[in-house]
Each structure stands twice: as structure tokens, then as C-alpha cells.
A = this chain, B = another copy of it.
Amino acid sequence: MQELNIEVCLSPLLFDTYKNPDAVVVVVDILRATSAICSAFENGARSLIPVATIDEARKYKDKGYTVAAERDGYILDFADFGNSPFNFTRDKVSGKDIVYSTTNGTMTIELAKNSKNILIGSFLNFSAIYRHLLGCESDILILCAGWKGKVNIEDTFFAGALAHQLVKSGRYKTDCDPAKIAIDIWLAGKDDKMGYIEKAAQRSRLRNKGLDDCIAFCLEADSSQIIPCVKDGVLRVLD
């Protein structure tokens, strides 16, 4: 078998420097968008329609859609709920198409839209996505959402966890510096994930807004076996 390559992109602003159109893209925004997306599908959502702007989200609301939308952690006034994975409960999302807009996550999904395959990764579906990627005959690009263009700790940490496991499998190699940086960040923090994520600026932001109840949940591996993917611009469960 051919050895495949993993790359890690630490910020959406660096996406254009990665030039492998055949790579499977794994979008990562673990605090909180991609964890929330995994929760939504775990609780039976039919689809999530990611929209990048507040205006678009409002138009959908006017048409009668359920809308989950936040900026900087605050729920938009017209939205039904925000971006905590705990918001996407079965009674609110089961069987529905939910419109979804967040500070960093949905814009990152939008950015990757021309890629052949786009998957959504978080610790919630870590092993599921790992096993799926092992079976892919594709290079992988792990695309971190970061924070307003900046590199962040939590997405780098997750990217490192996934890259490390894939390299350990022997099926993948990496010659990408950011992937190696991410792996070392994972190795530095893996024995105390909650303690390590204490360093992250997003940890403080969520604490200051009283939104940090979900962090342990977002760091716990394998509560879901579902892999969300993007098809024709809409998030669905991978067949």
C-alpha cells in the first residue's frame, strides 16, 4: 500500500498555502462548533445548513427554520439557540434541518467547500473518524478553525491527537511542520487534557461568559460514532 500524507493547517488564513485538492479535509473547531455539530447529529438532526453571515442566518429564520447562531459566544437575538453542544438536544433537533452560524467554524467549512471530501472532527467522534480515515485512499488535511484567523491551542491539540494516531498506524506519514508541531502539543497535554486546555484563551473566554460547562464533554473521546460530512454545502451524516 502507498503511504499517504497528513498535513495540518493551523489557521483558515493559511488554507490557500495548502495545494492538495485530492486531500480529505477534516474541519476542527472543538470549542465548540465541531463538537456541537457532532452532538446535533448524535441527537438526530437531519442536516445542518452552515451559513457564514448573520444576514443569511436571519433570512432562514424568517422562512421558519430553526437557527443556531452565535458570535463570540453570544446567541444572536433572533436565533433559537447558540453553539453549545448541550443546546442541540433531541427535542430541538431530531429530524430537522438546522441553520447554523458561528464565529469561526462555519466560515472554515465555507472555505473548504471546493474540497472533494469534507469531514467534521472532534473528540466526540475521534475513533470513528480515525477508523474512517484509515480506510481512505487519500491524503488528509486537518484544517483548524482557530480564533478569528489566529492559531489556537485547542484545535492544534486535537489536530495533533488525530495526526499522531494516524502516523502511529503506519498507514500515514507526515512531512508537514505544523503537523509535527501539533503532535508535540498533543504529547505535551494528552495525559491531562482538561489541565492542558486551561492554557487556551478560548478556555478563559468561555469561563468569562459562563459557557464553560461543556468543556469536559468536548474533550471526552468517543461519545459518538457519527461522522458528519459536507455535501453540496450542507452538513449531513456520512453514508
The interface of chain A, by Cβ under 8 A from chain B, is 10-11, 13-14, 16-17, 147-153, 156, 175-178, 180-181, 184-185, 187-188, 199-201, 204
Interface pair B184/A201, CB less than 8 Å apart: no
Q: Please name the 6 residue pairs, one residue from A and one from B, whose CB atoms are nearest each other, closest first.
A: A17-B149, A153-B177, A151-B178, A184-B188, A152-B177, A17-B150
Interface pair B151/A181, CB less than 8 Å apart: yes
Bound: A151/B188 CA distance, A: 19
15 interchain pairs (CB within 8 A)?
A: A10-B10, A10-B151, A11-B11, A17-B148, A17-B150, A150-B178, A151-B181, A152-B177, A153-B177, A153-B180, A175-B201, A175-B204, A177-B201, A180-B199, A181-B181
Interface pair A177/B149, CB less than 8 Å apart: no
For A176, the chain B residues whose CB sits under 8 A away are 201
**Nearest-Cβ distance from residue A51 to partner chain B, whole angstroms:** 23
Bound: A175/B202 CA distance, A: 10
For A204, the chain B residues whose CB sits under 8 A away are 175
For A187, the chain B residues whose CB sits under 8 A away are 188
Assembly of this chain: how many copies?
2
The interface residues of chain A, by DSSP majority, are classed as helix
Interface pair A151/B13, CB less than 8 Å apart: no
Known: A184-B184, A184-B185, A187-B188. A14 touches B178 (CB 8 A): no
For A188, the chain B residues whose CB sits under 8 A away are 184, 187-188
From A17, which residue of chain B is reached at the shortest CB distance?
Answer: B149
For A153, the chain B residues whose CB sits under 8 A away are 177, 180-181
**Nearest-Cβ distance from residue A31 to partner chain B, whole angstroms:** 12
A17-B149, A151-B177 are known; give 20 further A-B pairs, CB within 8 A.
Answer: A13-B13, A14-B14, A14-B149, A14-B150, A14-B151, A16-B149, A17-B150, A147-B177, A150-B177, A150-B178, A151-B151, A156-B177, A175-B201, A175-B204, A176-B201, A181-B181, A181-B185, A184-B184, A184-B185, A185-B185
